Each structure stands twice: as structure tokens, then as C-alpha cells.
Amino acid sequence: MIPLITAIPLLFAFTIVMLDTLRVKGAPIKAAFLLGAVLPAGVPLLRNGTEVVGGWSREAGIEVGIGEVNGPFIAGELILFTAVAIYSLSYFDFRDRKTAKALALFLLIHAGLLGAFISLDFFNFYIYMEIASVGAFALVAFSEEPGSRRAAFKYLIPSLLASYMFIFAVGLIYMETGYLNVDIVAEAAIPSRELSAALGIAFASLLLKAGIFPLHGWLPDAHSVAPTPASALLSGAVVKAPAYGMILLFSALPLGEAIKTVGMAIAAASIFFGIAMALLQRDAKRLLAYHTVSQMGYVLLGIASMNFTEAAYYAMAHSIFKGGLFLGIGSLGRKSRKLGEFGYRGAPVMAFSVLALSLAIGGVSPFIGAYAKGLISSGLSGNWSLVVPLGTVGTLVSFTKLNHYLLKGSPGKLRTAWKLSTSALAVAALGLGIYLGAKVKPADFIYLAVSAAIFLALRELGLFDREIKAKPAEVGREINVLTAVFVSVMLALLLLQRP
């Protein structure tokens, strides 16, 4: 039963390709897309736990499952993809022959992500993460935004390099333990140089694929130029697959304190680097893309502090509010993405949605962001516990800036499906926060007041008049730099684990 969660979207992706080949257009393709998007949600309702595909033994077979740790990843993906699917039906022009191919790619990503999240062995996880990645590369290139093919190429090459290194690390794990099943590897793993090397290589590879600082170089371009529903899916869900892979890795292999500390340091650096870069953006989608770099830092903070369930809930929360923000900003800024040239004045539904999602990503109660940040914070001690409140203030300053500009402008024509998708995610961010127990706290008012004061001070200093523009360099040179940083991080992680 559990593998159906992956088989259903694959089946309907194939159906769409066949319909397109037969030159069938319109309603049948829309129906197939919606069925492939929505039907997998029924699987977790009917079946959870674990099972081995084909009835083989755990040692020889492929074990999949839905449980406490991967459940929030799956829930976040299913909620976001449903909203993205509704949005996409109104976004794409079904008279264009490329539309069917784009929808098939969306379902390919859907299947890949769900397959990765239910995986309980390294090789199966790798296969499905790559299926999702292939769909993501193609959708970035699919965009008609200037520079989309360049961004796709810049995304593709480093990601492929990370994939090769990750599967090499999986080979080392298999060579040392004789297994690929995560639980069995955890039982069989004995500390050794080979497993330490596998851990360092695989961790660096997943950091790159998750777009975490300093291996984030491909992310702002790819996420900001993709079609709006693809941006929402890339930022809200695709970067979560490597985060889940880190949980599998840290669950199975012997870990030293050094790699945990380095992981937390990288997480904190990613949080504040993303905020700083977002503050210096005038391109709204690029601002949101840098916040993905920042927000993935929180997920890594939970993983590196060995609070896997807490990290999973943060991943789910981020899927909902970041996906909603990309859909909202993409709808409002159809003609221009530059802050000050568009906004939500005169569009109350969209204004409510973007404001609610901004509060959610800022960690204000009773939205789900507050609940998830509370979980991450509860697992931290010492100076690390300061990272979450400081990051909260920085995020709120950035989103105060975003909403300050959005208040000034008006949107173009907004389609009902766009408002419905964005507002549904805003309501989900609020409803799930209340359901899970996020309560209004006095600290929220302090965060908001401090953030407003910092925003006003920075505005008076003229910070928001400045902008760090991406200077297009020769793409090969940029890929070389990304590769050099990746190799440096990988070597550093390997050296840290020397006895």
C-alpha cells in the first residue's frame, strides 16, 4: 500500500505524456494532473507504519514507511503540492504544447519527493531524490524568464557532482556494513575511517543539494527565475529531500561531536547570511529565495542537534508558508518583480494571505512557524539557544521591508485560483499552528516591536535603497567556484573526523 504514494503520480505523469502524444488537450490532461496530485494523500490516511516492497526480507528488500519523523515531510509536501496543482491549472496556457510536459514534470517531482520521504534505505532514497531533481532542473529551464537556461545549467552541474559523491558515499557504507537499510546499518556500523569518510562526503553533498550556506550559490538564480508554481515547489519541497537524507545519515552512522558542532555552526551561518542577503534585495522573488537559504538553516539546526522530529516539523512549516509566499508574490508581480512596482493594495484576500504568511515565516504565534521554531529552540542549549530569537527578529525585519513596499503598489488582474491557492496555504499556516498548540505569547509583541524599530532605523540609514545585484559572470567560472567551495567543505568535514 505505501509504495502507491509514489506509483500514483508516476502513473498519471505517464498518462499525461500519452495524452499529449495523442494530441488530446484540455479537460483530460487537467483531470489526470489533479488525480495524480491529490490521490497520493489518501495513502497516509489508509496506511502507516513500515513494509518491505515485494515481501522480501529487510536485509535484501526495499523498506518504506510513514512514521513520526518522515510524516511531517510527507504532510508538508502533500499540502503544498495540492495548492501548487490548483495554481498551475490557471497559470499555464493549455493551448501551448509545452503545458502538458510541464505538468508531467510536476508529477515527476511529486513522485520523487514522496518516494524519497518514505524511503528507509539509502539507495532507494538516492534514486527518488534524483527523480525529483531531474524534474526540478527541467522546470527551471522551462521558464521564459531571462537567464532561466543559464540558472538551470548552474543548478544542474553542481547538483550532479553532489549526486555522484553521495552515491560514492553510499557505496562506502555498503562496503563497510553490507547493508543499505538505515536501521540495519545503524546496528552494524562500527566506527571506522571508511564510515567517517562516507559521512563527510554524503553530508557535504546533501548540504549542496539543500542550498545551505556556503553551498547555496545555485539556489537564488534557480528559485527566482523558475515559473511561479515551480518556484513554490522548489523552495517549499524539493530542498527538503536532502534534509531528510541528512536525518537518515545521522540516524545510521557513528557521529562525533565535531561534526554536530560544525553542522550547527553552518546552520547558524546559513540563517543569518540568508537574512542579510534578503535585506539587500529589491527583486521580490530573489528576496524569498535568500530566505530559503536562511530557513533551511533552521532545519539543519534541528538535525545537527539530533532533534529529528523537531526538524521535520520545521520542514513541514516551511513548505507551507514559503510555498504560499512564492505563489502570492508571483501572482502580484506578474509584470515586475521589483519591490515598489507592484503590491497588494486593493486586493484584500491577497493582502491578508501575504501578511499572514509573513507572520508565519517570522515565527509569530499562533501560526505554525511559531510552533516549529519553539520545537527547534527547545532542543538547543547555551549560546545556540540565541540563534532562534535573533533569527526571528532578522526575518521579521526583512518581511517588514517586503510588506512596506507591497503596501504601496497595486496588482494586475488576479485569477481566482491564484487567490484560492495562496489563501489556502495562509489558512493552513494558521490552522495547523492553532491545532498543534501555538499560543500567542508576550514575546511575539516584543519581537514585532524590535523588528519594526530596526526596520525604521535601517530605512533611515538608506539600507533599503541599496541592492546587491547578481552580476552575470561566465557560467563556467561560477560553476568552478561552486565546485571549489563544495570540495573545500567536503575536505574540511573529512579532516574534522580524523581521530
Residue 47 and residue 1 in contact, taking contact as beta carbons nearer than 8 Å: yes
Q: Which residues are paired to 338 by β-bridges? A: 283
* Residue found under cell 560544525: 262
Q: Which residues are paired to 181 by β-bridges? A: 121
What is the tens place of the pLDDT at every residue in 147-206? 889 999 999 999 999 999 999 999 999 999 999 999 999 999 999 999 999 999 999 999
pLDDT score, position 470: 62
CA distance linking residue 223 with residue 73, whole number of Å = 20
Residue 119, C-beta contacts closer than 8 angstroms, at least 6 positions apart: 62, 64, 125, 128, 248
What is the tens place of the pLDDT at every residue in 441-461? 888 999 999 999 999 999 998
What is the tens place of the pLDDT at every residue in 322-339? 999 999 999 998 888 899
Per-residue b or e along 243-258, where b marks 16 or more CB atoms closer than 10 Å to that residue's CB: bbbbbbbbbbbebeee
Give the residue extent of every domain in the chain: 256-467
pLDDT score, position 290: 96
Q: Give the chain's residues under pLDDT 70.
A: 469-472, 498-499
Residue 335 and residue 412 in contact, taking contact as beta carbons nearer than 8 Å: yes
Residue 412, C-beta contacts closer than 8 angstroms, at least 6 positions apart: 334, 335, 342
Query: CB atoms < 10 A from the CB of 28, how many?
Result: 13
Which has the closest alpha carbon to 272: 248, 240, 295, 238? 295
CA dihedral 23, 25, 30, 35 (to 10 degrees): -30
CA distance linking residue 68 with residue 96, whole number of Å = 42
